[in-house]
DNA sequence: CTGAAAGCGCTTACAG
DNA sequence: CTGAAAGCGCTTACAG
């Protein structure tokens, strides 16, 4: 009752050629829609191909043409948030191109990463998409050395023009979110960031600072919490913030996962969102609209970034020049139901 | 400033052989760890391979051996819930095997599916994993005909032993959830199901019925809501249920996405979970623990299912017999904070 | 222990 | 319009 992996009745081009009574060359031309075959002959061959349910051999074709039809995507872990949004964009673009998408998750395991890299280098990929916030084993360097086309997605540790990258206007996102909160009347706005040794988190913080300064609101160091871009940060830091002598009236997180953590603590303490606390997230991941209440967040155009990155990669693969090596798509504030004027604000009285 | 896709300085086995002054055969033996090479010669060759940073050509190898090292996974859409859980399991198992995972999303587009199927048939896959609740173009039939190894994950429209499948004990899950609610003192328990023409949703409902009957509680048809396995069902049906002359005190949904919809409506109407309404989900998707309050749900061992399916596939590919063509892993109830005795129940007084 | 040679199934100049 | 032939880079009997 188990299946046999045996490959029966799989035809080769040679067999088709013999059946029709022509050369392999001619069959190949028909198969690849190339000129140099008479109309009736072409039709006859197509018929036989169809009748016999013939399909080309991928490996042989690949060997001759030097292309695998494969694009590899490397990411740390599929979390279902940020990465999933980008993945959706990639898939859309890939599908149109006729390539297949290979997914590889590093799990931050160096040994596994090296193995993967080694495997890529054997010409089994047409190009790679990097969705790694940071890396330790010099993937970009190796890729560059072996002249394997690639583009990096999302903000990386350091700016570079050595290779194509795509990001979004993070700083502006930080600014807009804070400005919005200020416009609602908030003056004590907390920010939960990611590790500040990473540039893109510093960018959010800088945007936050800029907005406060513009409004003439002094920056309170007690309201700046450095986390590790995880949900747990939201939990931990929110507890800390609530226990402050003078707690904030709004919390701005550096991603939506952290905002989820904030929600949890607030729920536990029966602090109503947005009546008693405003929350703004970052990314606009799929599930933000489904949160209770729906989260106001800074949207990164995730799908668009994935799509753009894929198209850039495809362009490189085809040998076309890129207009620019680094592209930033713009962020925007998506206003939903998690913000309101602070209670003590004149606006809400 | 743009990258060239040109493949420079990529060595072939022949070049290595020439460099060392041996035959290609010998190099191949070393590369594949086969006997028939003297120790010093082996070491010398390994050295040269390393020095030159040589990597094998994937396509040539594939052509000779008839294997691609690729496993294809087909799913409708990556939603970030059920499918993501299974995907995690697959990735773990794949990684150990040394294969690469190709992901394909059908988006329920028949044309795209046909194209994909056609491409698979050209021997470019070692095997495929099917994560499709139902299908229209006869994928399993085509795979069977072309003797491409595959296994189907999750419950499908009809039971079959024609090919390997893996699922979980759905009926039992429906039973356990309902039984738990009853044990808390609930008597008016609503169920939001998926389309009842699909067997696995009928199984949940049957489990629900069985538990009620065992407890001597009459089944109220008004409390049975047929949805479409989407979050929107949760929203819609919950509204309907709340407007009933005698609303339920607990709601059991057929997946966690629907439960999220239930949460939304309850939040809007200021109905507290679990004080004023108990909710049980199904699947135990990643985000359930992060909901506010954390959702009590029937756990499907998603990762385990993915892992098991992958291992089964790998076995088939290697020509080993399967112990069983259909495997069901057991569901279990994960109790978190979304359930409590009903208000009017004697238990809570 | 070592290697010459056939062949995997295609594509592509090139000649007729 | 049609086809013979070389060759992509390997692996694997087989012979020495």
> Residues A78, A56: one domain?
no
Contact call for residues B185 and B348 (beta carbons, < 8 A)? yes
> Residues B163, B184: one domain?
no
Give per-residue burial for B65-75: e unless 16+ CB within 10 Å, then b. Answer: eebbbbbbbbb
Do A318 and B102 make contact, defined as CB atoms within 8 angstroms?
A: no
Contact call for residues A336 and A293 (beta carbons, < 8 A)? yes
Confidence band for B330, pLDDT divided at 50, 70 and 90: very high
Do A63 and B68 make contact, defined as CB atoms within 8 angstroms?
A: no
Q: Does residue B42 lie within any of the structural domains?
A: yes
Q: Quote the CA–CA distance of B345 and A296 in Å, as a whole number.
A: 39
- How close, in Å, is residue A275 to chain B by CA atoms? 13
Question: For every residue of chain A, which 3-state class applies, written as one string?
Answer: CCCCCCCCCCCCHHHHHHHHCCCHHHHHHHHCCCCCCCHHHHHHHHHHHHHCCCCCCHHHHHHHHCCCCEEEEEECCCCCCHHHHHHHHHHHHHHHHCCEEEEEECCCCHHHHHHHHHHHCCCCCCEEEEECCCCCCCHHHHHHHCCCCEEEECCCCCCCCCCCEEEECHHHHHHHHHHHHHHCCCCCEEEEECCCCCHHHHHHHHHHHHHHHHCCCCCCHHHEEECCCCHHHHHHHHHHHHCCCCCCCEEEECCHHHHHHHHHHHHHCCCCCCCCCEEEEEECCHHHHHCCCCCEEEECCHHHHHHHHHHHHHHHHCCCCCCCCEEEECCEEECCCCCCCCCCCHHHC
Domain that holds residue A41: 13-64
> Residues A29, A143: one domain?
no
| Residues of chain B found within 8 Å of residue A119, distances taken between Cβ atoms | 100
Q: Quote the CA–CA distance of A146 and A209 in Å, as a whole number.
A: 42
Report the CATH number that the domain containing residue A140 is assigned in CATH.
Answer: 3.40.50.2300
Find the helix or strand (DSSP H, E) in which B280 lies.
strand B278-283
Task: Give the count of domains, chain B.
Answer: 3
Report the CATH number that the domain containing residue B18 is assigned in CATH.
Answer: 1.10.260
Three-state DSSP class for residue B223:
helix
Question: Out of A249-258, B58-67, B270-279, which region has the weakest mean confidence (pLDDT)?
Answer: B58-67
pLDDT of residue B308: 96
> Residues A133, A207: one domain?
no
> Residues A101, A147: one domain?
yes
Do A5 and B164 make contact, defined as CB atoms within 8 angstroms?
A: no
Query: C1' nearest to CA of A57: which nucleotide?
Result: C9
> Residues B201, B270: one domain?
yes
> Residues B186, B265: one domain?
yes
Question: Out of A219-228, A272-281, B22-31, B56-65, which region has the weakest mean confidence (pLDDT)?
Answer: B56-65
- Kindly tell me if the per-residue pLDDT of A2 is higher than 60: no
Interface-testing mutation among B7, B49, B59, with chain A (most A C-beta atoms within 10 A): B59
pLDDT of residue A349: 39
Q: Does residue B4 lie within any of the structural domains?
A: no
> Residues B37, B107: one domain?
no
Q: Does residue A254 lie within any of the structural domains?
A: yes
Q: Does residue A348 lie within any of the structural domains?
A: no
pLDDT of residue A1: 35
Do A78 and B84 make contact, defined as CB atoms within 8 angstroms?
A: yes
Question: Out of A129-143, B3-17, B47-61, B330-344, which region has the weakest mean confidence (pLDDT)?
Answer: B3-17
> Residues A163, A97: one domain?
yes
Mean pLDDT: which of A174-178, B107-111, B193-197 is highest? A174-178
> Residues A81, A191: one domain?
no
Do B287 and A286 make contact, defined as CB atoms within 8 angstroms?
A: no
> How long is the CA B331 to C1' D5 vector, in angstroms?
63
Judge if the beta carbon of A60 is closer than 7 A to nucleic acid strand D: yes
Q: Does residue A343 lie within any of the structural domains?
A: no
> Residues A323, A276: one domain?
no
Nearest CA in chain B to A232: B290
Q: Does residue A95 lie within any of the structural domains?
A: yes
- Kindly tell me if the per-residue pLDDT of B10 is higher than 80: no
| Residues of chain A found within 8 Å of residue B1, distances taken between Cβ atoms | 161, 322, 325
| pLDDT tens track for A5-37 | 334 457 888 888 888 889 899 999 898 888 888
Judge if the beta carbon of A321 is closer than 7 A to nucleic acid strand D: no
**How many percent of chain A have pLDDT more than 70?**
95
Say which of B6, B119, B147 has its CB closest to residue A6: B147
**To 5 degrees, how large is the angle CA A145–CA A149–CA A150?**
100
- Kindly tell me if the per-residue pLDDT of B346 is higher than 60: no
More confident residue, B109 or B223: B223
Contact call for residues B80 and B108 (beta carbons, < 8 A)? no
* Domain stops at, among A256, A281, A300: A300
Q: Does residue A36 lie within any of the structural domains?
A: yes
> Residues B256, B134: one domain?
no
Helix pair B24-31, B13-20: axis angle to 10 deg: 110
pLDDT of residue B238: 97
Average pLDDT on A66-81 reads 90
| Residues of chain A found within 8 Å of residue B325, distances taken between Cβ atoms | 1-2
- Kindly tell me if the per-residue pLDDT of B283 is higher than 70: yes
- How close, in Å, is residue B2 to chain A by CA atoms? 6
Q: Does residue A347 lie within any of the structural domains?
A: no
């Amino acid at each position: 009752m188990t299946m046999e992996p045996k490959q029966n009745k799989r035809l080769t081009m040679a067999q088709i050629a013999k059946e029709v009574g022509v050369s392999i060359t001619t069959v190949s031309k028909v198969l690849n829609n190339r000129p140099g075959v008479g109309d009736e002959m072409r039709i006859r061959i197509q018929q036989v191909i169809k009748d016999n349910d013939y399909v080309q051999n991928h490996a042989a074709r690949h060997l001759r043409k030097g292309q695998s039809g494969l694009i590899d995507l490397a990411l740390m872990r599929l979390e279902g948030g940020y990465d999933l949004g980008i993945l959706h964009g990639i898939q859309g673009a890939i599908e149109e191109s006729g390539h297949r998408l290979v997914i590889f998750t590093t799990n931050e395991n160096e040994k596994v990463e090296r193995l993967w890299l080694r495997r890529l280098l054997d010409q089994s990929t047409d190009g790679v998409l990097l969705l790694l916030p940071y890396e330790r084993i010099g993937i970009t360097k190796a890729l560059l050395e072996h002249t394997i086309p690639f583009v990096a997605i999302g903000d990386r540790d350091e700016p570079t023009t050595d290779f194509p990258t795509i990001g979004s206007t993070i700083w502006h996102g930080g600014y807009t979110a804070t400005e919005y909160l200020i416009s609602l009347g908030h003056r004590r706005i907390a920010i939960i960031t990611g590790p500040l040794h990473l540039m893109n988190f510093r960018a959010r913080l800088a945007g936050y600072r800029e907005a406060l300064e513009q409004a003439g609101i002094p920056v309170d160091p007690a309201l700046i919490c450095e986390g590790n871009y995880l949900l747990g940060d939201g939990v931990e830091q929110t507890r800390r913030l609530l226990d402050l002598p003078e707690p904030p009236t709004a919390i701005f997180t550096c991603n939506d996962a952290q905002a989820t953590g904030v929600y949890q603590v607030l729920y536990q303490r029966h602090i109503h969102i947005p009546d008693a606390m405003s929350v703004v997230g970052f990314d606009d991941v799929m599930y933000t609209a489904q949160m209770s209440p729906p989260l106001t967040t800074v949207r990164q155009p995730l799908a668009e970034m994935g799509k753009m990155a894929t198209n850039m990669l495809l362009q490189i693969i085809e040998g076309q020049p890129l207009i620019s090596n680094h592209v930033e798509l713009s962020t925007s504030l998506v206003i939903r139901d998690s913000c309101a004027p602070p209670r003590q604000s004149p606006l809400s009285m």
